[in-house]
């Protein structure tokens, strides 16, 4: 028997915290309950979990590997083949080999559960440099915001892309630029939104070398060559390389390099005017009840302000943190600013799901509040309500699958 170290026990606790809330969500479906409290569960077991958008699309891609002929045979909705290119391939590639053994839908849930654990482990190790209560904050990230609890429980690539983005930012902070670029490459191949890491890395590299240029007495060109390494250059190009790989894959399968952008045109999800999500007549809005969206954006702008004050500090000069400092590295502010600006251009009502990569940074920036006794009490008292919210959302956000034989 191998002795369990303190670190091993803590990682084990992180894994347990990662799984328990999800298993609680699965329980009423696995038990084939017809109702839970006042929520009608329709007694079809885990199929209610499987049907949640956009899970069936990723499963279909895993089965067909984007083959247009196979898509035509199995598509459960009348949509062009290019539509499925909106769902990038890495998640489906991971589902495929396991799906052949245990079934594609269970495999997709397994991949998401593993990604869920990976994100929490990365977050736990990362947040330790800012907080004395990393385990509690990991639990907070698991269930709050509640939209996060949902995407952890259904078939979704958000956990995987969230883990890759957070790890890429952390690797850049620690000076592992090549690794950051490789993670960014994989993140883009998981979800296109990770392409924002390309300008993030570029701007961060400029910020890190800017103090050299401001000192006229130093040989800044020589120091630039020392500071701006080949790893930085690869990191900046990494997201573009990731999209290039996806484009070439789409060229070989769907016959179109830009199939992703064609898919965006099909679903009407291209970039819009700033704050275009407040157009009630837009295809992905269709309501004027958008106070929650406004509050989410306010929270993100507050996060920008908080990280701005943390990063600039009292002297008004932006500097990279060192390993002995607990102030955030500039990359977190830059990522938050650019990612928030990108979100403001998306005409989508579900801004919270798209903003999930910012959740770890929000908890880091306001960790004192999230560690406070009032928040602890409030969150614990809110858990039954949040649980009902999760079940209600799952039952109302389902694809119209009538023939499961297609899968």
In-domain check, residue 27: no
In-domain check, residue 29: no
In-domain check, residue 250: yes
What is the DSSP-derived secondary structure letter of residue 329? P
In-domain check, residue 105: yes
pTM reported for the whole predicted model? 0.93
Q: Is 349 helix (H, G, I), strand (E, B) or coil?
A: coil
Reported confidence tier of residue 217, pLDDT bands at 50, 70, 90? very low
* Residue 367 confidence (pLDDT) above 80: yes
In-domain check, residue 138: yes
Q: Which two tokens stand for residue 281?
A: 């007549």
Reported confidence tier of residue 214, pLDDT bands at 50, 70, 90? low
For 161-197, the pLDDT digits (tens) are: 999 999 999 999 999 999 999 999 999 999 999 999 9
Q: Which two tokens stand for residue 25?
A: 């969500």
- What is the residue range of 295's domain? 54-390
Q: Is 155 helix (H, G, I), strand (E, B) or coil?
A: coil
For 294-323, the pLDDT digits (tens) are: 999 999 999 999 999 988 765 555 544 444
- Domains of the chain: total: 1
In-domain check, residue 383: yes
In-domain check, residue 155: yes
Give dist(CA 64, CA 69) in Å, integer: 8
Give dist(CA 20, CA 221) in Å, integer: 54
* Residue 75 confidence (pLDDT) above 80: no
Instruction: Specify whether the CB–CB gap between 77 and 56 falls below 8 A.
Output: no
What is the DSSP-derived secondary structure letter of residue 406? G
In-domain check, residue 321: yes
What is the DSSP-derived secondary structure letter of residue 39? E
Concatenating the DSSP letter of every residue in 201-251 gives HHHHHHHHHHHHHH-TTS-HHHHHHHHS-HHHHHHHHHHHHHHHHHHHHHH
């Amino acid at each position: 028997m191998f002795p369990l170290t303190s670190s091993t026990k803590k990682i084990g606790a992180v894994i347990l915290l990662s799984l328990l809330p999800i298993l609680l969500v699965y329980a009423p479906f696995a038990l084939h309950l017809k109702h839970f409290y006042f929520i009608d569960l329709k007694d079809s077991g885990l199929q209610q979990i499987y049907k949640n958008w956009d899970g069936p699309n990723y499963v279909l891609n895993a089965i067909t590997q984007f083959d247009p002929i196979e898509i035509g045979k199995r598509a459960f909705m009348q949509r062009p083949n290019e539509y499925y290119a909106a769902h990038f391939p890495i998640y489906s590639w991971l589902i495929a080999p396991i799906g052949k053994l245990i079934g594609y839908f269970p495999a997709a849930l397994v991949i998401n559960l593993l990604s869920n654990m990976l994100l929490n482990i990365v977050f736990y190790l990362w947040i330790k440099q800012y907080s004395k209560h990393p385990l509690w904050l990991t639990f907070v990230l698991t269930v709050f915001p509640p939209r996060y609890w949902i995407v952890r429980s259904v078939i979704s690539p958000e956990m995987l892309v969230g883990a890759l983005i957070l790890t890429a930012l952390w690797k850049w902070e620690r000076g592992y630029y090549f690794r950051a670029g490789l993670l960014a490459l994989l993140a883009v191949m998981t979800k296109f939104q990770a392409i924002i890491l390309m300008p993030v890395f570029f701007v961060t590299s400029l910020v890190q070398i800017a103090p050299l240029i401001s000192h006229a007495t130093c040989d800044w060109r020589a120091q630039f060559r020392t500071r701006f390494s080949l790893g930085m250059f690869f990191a900046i190009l990494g997201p573009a390389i990731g999209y290039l790989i996806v484009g070439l894959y789409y060229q070989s399968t769907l016959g179109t390099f830009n199939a992703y952008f064609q898919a965006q045109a099909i679903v009407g999800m291209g970039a819009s005017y700033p704050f275009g999500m407040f157009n009630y007549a837009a295809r992905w809005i269709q309501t004027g009840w958008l106070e929650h969206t406004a509050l989410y954006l306010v929270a993100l702008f507050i996060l920008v302000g908080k990280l701005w004050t943390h990063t600039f500090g009292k002297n008004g000069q932006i500097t990279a943190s060192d390993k002995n400092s607990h102030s955030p590295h500039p990359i977190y502010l830059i990522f938050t600013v650019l990612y928030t600006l990108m979100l403001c251009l998306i005409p989508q009502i579900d801004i919270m799901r798209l903003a999930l990569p910012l959740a770890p940074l929000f908890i880091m920036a306001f960790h004192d509040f999230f560690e406070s006794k009032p928040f602890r009490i409030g969150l614990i008292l809110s858990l039954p309500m949040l649980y009902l919210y999760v079940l209600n959302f799952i039952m109302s956000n389902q694809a119209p699958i009538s023939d499961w034989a297609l899968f």
